[in-house]
C-alpha cells in the first residue's frame, strides 16, 4: 500500500438513519429559522405569481379568438402579466439576497462549533484522525452540508408549486389531469430507487475526497523525507491511484445524480404527446376552447419540472447528509479526558505529585501501567530514563492530562487533578517537548503564547534565563522576526531556546522537559545547561532525557521498563548498584562524559592494523 497505507485506516463507525440525521439537522437550523422562513416566503410568493401567469395568457388567447375582442381586458391582462413577472424577479432577488446572508453565516457558525469541539478533544482523538481528514470536514464537508437548507426549502417550494399546478390542471380538465398523473408514480418509483444508492455513493465520494486531502498534507509535511530518499516518482504514482479513486467515486456520484434524468424526461415527454393528442381532439369536438388547452399545455412543464427536480433531490440531499454525518463524527465525539462536574479553579500549586495505583492503556488490551505508584516531592528534580516504550512519555502525558487514565488517581498537593478545571490546572504546567512546535508569527508572539499579557521586563527575564538574548540579537528583525510554518526559518536549537523561554515565561510550578535537549547542538546544549539551574529552581521538574548532563544533576532518577519502575536513586548510588541504570549509562550516557575515552583491547588494536 506504500506511504498512503493509512488512508483507509479511519473507518466510518457511526451509522445514522436519514431520520436521525434530519432531526439533528432541524435542531441545528432552528437558530436560523427567521432566515429560512423568509426564503420560504419569497419562494412561495414567486410560485403563486408564476402560477397565475399562464391563466392570464390563456385568457388573452381566448379573448383574441372572439369576433369582437375586448382590447382593454387584453391590455390589462398584459400589464398584470408584466407586473407578475416583476414580482417573480423581485422575489428571486430577495431570495438569493437572504441566502447570501444566511449561507456564509450558517457555515461560519458550524465551522466554529467544529473548531471548538476539536479543542475539547484529548490526544486520543487526534491519534485516530488524520490531519487531512479533519481539514476536509472543516472545509469541504461544511460547504456541502451548508447547501442542504436551500435545497430543502427549494424542494418544498417546488412541491407546493406542483400541488397548485395540479389543482389548476384538474380545474381545467379532469381527464387530461388524470393522464398527467399516470406518469407520476413511475417517476417517483425511479426517484426513490436512487435513494439508498445515492447515500452509499455519496459516502464513498466523501471518503475518497478526504483521502486526497490526507495524501496532500502528508506529502507537504514529509516532503523533505520524500526528497531525501528520492521517492518523488513512487509517491506520485501512489497519489495517482488515490486521485483515480476520487475521480471514479466522483463520476459515480455524478452518474447517480443525472443517470435517470433522460429516462424521466422520456416519460414526461411521452405523457405530454398523449395529452397534446387528446387535447387537440377535445378542441376539435368543442369540449375545450383553444385558450383553455393552451393554458393546460403551459401548466404541464410547471407540473413536471418540480417532480423532475425531485429526482435529483435525493442524490444531492444524500451528499449533504453524508457530509453532515462525517461532521457529526466530530461534534458528537466526547473526550475521554473529563473533569468532575464540580471541578474548581486552582491558583498556584505547590507541586507535590502523587500517582496512586494508576492503570492506563492507549488501546484496550494493551496495558501501559498497572497499579503505578510514584511520589514526586515539591521542588524535586526527577529524571526518567528507559528504553523506547518503557512508559517515560506516558507518565508526563497523563500528568498533562493529554490522556485519561482508567484506574487510580493522580494528585497534586493532595488534590485529584480531575477535580481541577483543565484551564487553571494547565496554567501551573510548563511543557517543553522534543519536537518543538512554533506557530506562524513573530518570535515575540511565540514566546508570549502562554502569557499574552506579560510585561517587557518579564519577557526579557525569561529570555535571559535561557540565554536566548544572543539569538534575538542576531535575528534580522530581532523580536519581530517572522517564523514560518512549524518554525521554518530558525534552527532546531533556536526553536528549543524559544520553547524554553515560552515555558519559563508562564512561571510554572511543574516543569516537564520531554527530551528537550536532544535536538540541540553541543554549543546550544552548553548554553541551556547554564540556565537549567535557573529553569528548575523553585519548581517541581520531570526530565525525560538522553543527555548525561540532565540526568547526573537530577535529585532522583527513575529507571523504567515495560511500564514499571525497576530502579530509583541518584546517579552515584544507581551506578554503584550495577543494575539496569549502570547498563543504560554505559550504552547511552558514558560517552557523553568529559572524562570518557574509548578503550581498545589488544585484539582490536591488532585488527585495526
Query: Same domain, yes or no, for 288 and 425?
Result: no
510 and 389 within one domain: yes
| pLDDT for the residue numbered 356 | 93
Between the two ends of the chain, the Cα-to-Cα distance in Å is 48
- Confidence check: pLDDT of 195 > 70: no
Q: Does residue 327 sit in the same domain as residue 397?
A: no
Residue 209 pLDDT exceeds 80: no
497, part of any domain: yes
pLDDT at 202: 72
Q: Is residue 389 part of a domain?
A: yes
What's the pLDDT score for residue 528?
67
Q: From the centroid of its chain, how far is CA 374?
A: 37
Residue 330 burial class via C-beta count within 10 angstroms: exposed 0-12, middle 13-18, buried 19 and up: buried
Q: Where are the alpha helices (DSSP H) in 430-491?
A: 443-447, 456-465, 469-474
Q: Would you give the distance in Å from CA 540 to the centre of its chain?
A: 36
* pLDDT tens sequence across 146-157: 777 777 777 777
338 within domain boundaries: no
Same domain, 105 and 188: yes
| 12 within some domain | no
CB distance 165 to 55 below 8 Å: no
Say what the pLDDT of residue 205 is.
Answer: 76
Q: CA 80: distance to chain centroid?
A: 52
**Percentage above 90 pLDDT, the chain:** 3
CATH of residue 493's domain is: 3.40.50.300
Position 589 scores a pLDDT of: 58
Tell me the pairing of strands 381-386 and 540-544: parallel
- Whether 581 maps to a domain, the answer reads yes
CA distance 176 to 291: 15
558, pLDDT greater than 80 = yes
Q: Report the domain count for the chain.
A: 2
Look up the domain containing 573 and give its range: 378-592
Extract the C-alpha cell encoding 532. Answer: 537549567
pLDDT digits (tens, 9 = 90+) for 113-154: 888 888 888 888 877 877 777 777 777 778 778 777 777 777
Within-domain flag for 342:
no
Give the 3-state secondary structure of residue 408: strand
Of residues 57 and 36, more confidently modeled: 36
- Boundary (domain end) residue, out of 268, 297, 331: 331
Predicted TM-score of the model (pTM): 0.70
Q: What is the CATH classification number for the domain harbouring 104?
A: 1.20.1560.10
Is 472 a residue whose pLDDT tops 80?
A: no
Whether 403 and 362 have beta carbons less than 8 Å apart is answered as yes
Interatomic CA distance for residues 19 and 26, integer angstroms: 10
452 and 322 housed in the same domain: no
| pLDDT (tens digit per residue) in 319-357 | 778 788 888 888 888 888 877 888 888 888 888 999 999
C-alpha cell at position 591: 560517552
Residues 534-550 have a mean pLDDT of 75
Amino acid at each position: 500500500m506504500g506511504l498512503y497505507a493509512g488512508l483507509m485506516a479511519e473507518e466510518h463507525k457511526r451509522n445514522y438513519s436519514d431520520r436521525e440525521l434530519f432531526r439533528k439537522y432541524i435542531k441545528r437550523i432552528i437558530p436560523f429559522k427567521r432566515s429560512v422562513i423568509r426564503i420560504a416566503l419569497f419562494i412561495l410568493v414567486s410560485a403563486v405569481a408564476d402560477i397565475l401567469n399562464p391563466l392570464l395568457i390563456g385568457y388573452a388567447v381566448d379573448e383574441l379568438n372572439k369576433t369582437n375582442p375586448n382590447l382593454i381586458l387584453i391590455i390589462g391582462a398584459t400589464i398584470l402579466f408584466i407586473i407578475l413577472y416583476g414580482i417573480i424577479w423581485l422575489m428571486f432577488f430577495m431570495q438569493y439576497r437572504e441566502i447570501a446572508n444566511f449561507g456564509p453565516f450558517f457555515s461560519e457558525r458550524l465551522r466554529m462549533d467544529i473548531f471548538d469541539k476539536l479543542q475539547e478533544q484529548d490526544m486520543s482523538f487526534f491519534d485516530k484522525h488524520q490531519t487531512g481528514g479533519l481539514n476536509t470536514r472543516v472545509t469541504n464537508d461544511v460547504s456541502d452540508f451548508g447547501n442542504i437548507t436551500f435545497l430543502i426549502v427549494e424542494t418544498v417550494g417546488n412541491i407546493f408549486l406542483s400541488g397548485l399546478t395540479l389543482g389548476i390542471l384538474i380545474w381545467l380538465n379532469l381527464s387530461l389531469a388524470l393522464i398527467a398523473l399516470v406518469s407520476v408514480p413511475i417517476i417517483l418509483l425511479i426517484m426513490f430507487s436512487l435513494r439508498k444508492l445515492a447515500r452509499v455513493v455519496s459516502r464513498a465520494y466523501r471518503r475518497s475526497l478526504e483521502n486526497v486531502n490526507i495524501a496532500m498534507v502528508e506529502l507537504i509535511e514529509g516532503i523533505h523525507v520524500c526528497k531525501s530518499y528520492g521517492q518523488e516518482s513512487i509517491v506520485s504514482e501512489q497519489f495517482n491511484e488515490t486521485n483515480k479513486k476520487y475521480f471514479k467515486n466522483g463520476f459515480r456520484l455524478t452518474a447517480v445524480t443525472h443517470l435517470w434524468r433522460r429516462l424521466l424526461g422520456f416519460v414526461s415527454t411521452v405523457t405530454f404527446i398523449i395529452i397534446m393528442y387528446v387535447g387537440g381532439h377535445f378542441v376539435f369536438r368543442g369540449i375545450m376552447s383553444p385558450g383553455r388547452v393552451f393554458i393546460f399545455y403551459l401548466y404541464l412543464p410547471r407540473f413536471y419540472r418540480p417532480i423532475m427536480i425531485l429526482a435529483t433531490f435525493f442524490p444531492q440531499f444524500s451528499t449533504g447528509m453524508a457530509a453532515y454525518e462525517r461532521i457529526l463524527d466530530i461534534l458528537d465525539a466526547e473526550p475521554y479526558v473529563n473533569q468532575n462536574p464540580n471541578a474548581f479553579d486552582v491558583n498556584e500549586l505547590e507541586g507535590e505529585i502523587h500517582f496512586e495505583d494508576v492503570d492506563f492503556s492507549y488501546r484496550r488490551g494493551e496495558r501501559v501501567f498497572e497499579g503505578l505508584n510514584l511520589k514526586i516531592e515539591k521542588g524535586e528534580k526527577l529524571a526518567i530514563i528507559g528504553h523506547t516504550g518503557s512508559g517515560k512519555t506516558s507518565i508526563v502525558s497523563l500528568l498533562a492530562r493529554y490522556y485519561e487514565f482508567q484506574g487510580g488517581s493522580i494528585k497534586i498537593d493532595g488534590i485529584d487533578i480531575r477535580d481541577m478545571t483543565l484551564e487553571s490546572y494547565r496554567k501551573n504546567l510548563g511543557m517543553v517537548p522534543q519536537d518543538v512546535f512554533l506557530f506562524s508569527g513573530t518570535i515575540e508572539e511565540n514566546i508570549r503564547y502562554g502569557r499574552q499579557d506579560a510585561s517587557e521586563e518579564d519577557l526579557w527575564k525569561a529570555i535571559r534565563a535561557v540565554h536566548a538574548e544572543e539569538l534575538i540579537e542576531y535575528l534580522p528583525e530581532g523580536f519581530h522576526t517572522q517564523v514560518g510554518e512549524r518554525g521554518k526559518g530558525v534552527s532546531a536549537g533556536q526553536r528549543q531556546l524559544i520553547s524554553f523561554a515560552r515555558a519559563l515565561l508562564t512561571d510554572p510550578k511543574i516543569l516537564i522537559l520531554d527530551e528537550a535537549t536532544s535536538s540541540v547542538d553541543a554549543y546550544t546544549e552548553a548554553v541551556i545547561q547554564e540556565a537549567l539551574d535557573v529553569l528548575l529552581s523553585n519548581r517541581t521538574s520531570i526530565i525525560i532525557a538522553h543527555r548525561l548532563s540532565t540526568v547526573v544533576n537530577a535529585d532522583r532518577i527513575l529507571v523504567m521498563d515495560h511500564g514499571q519502575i525497576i530502579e530509583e536513586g541518584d546517579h552515584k548510588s544507581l551506578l554503584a548498584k550495577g543494575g539496569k541504570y549502570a547498563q543504560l549509562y554505559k550504552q547511552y550516557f558514558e560517552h557523553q562524559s568529559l572524562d570518557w575515552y574509548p578503550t581498545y583491547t589488544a585484539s582490536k588494536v591488532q585488527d585495526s592494523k
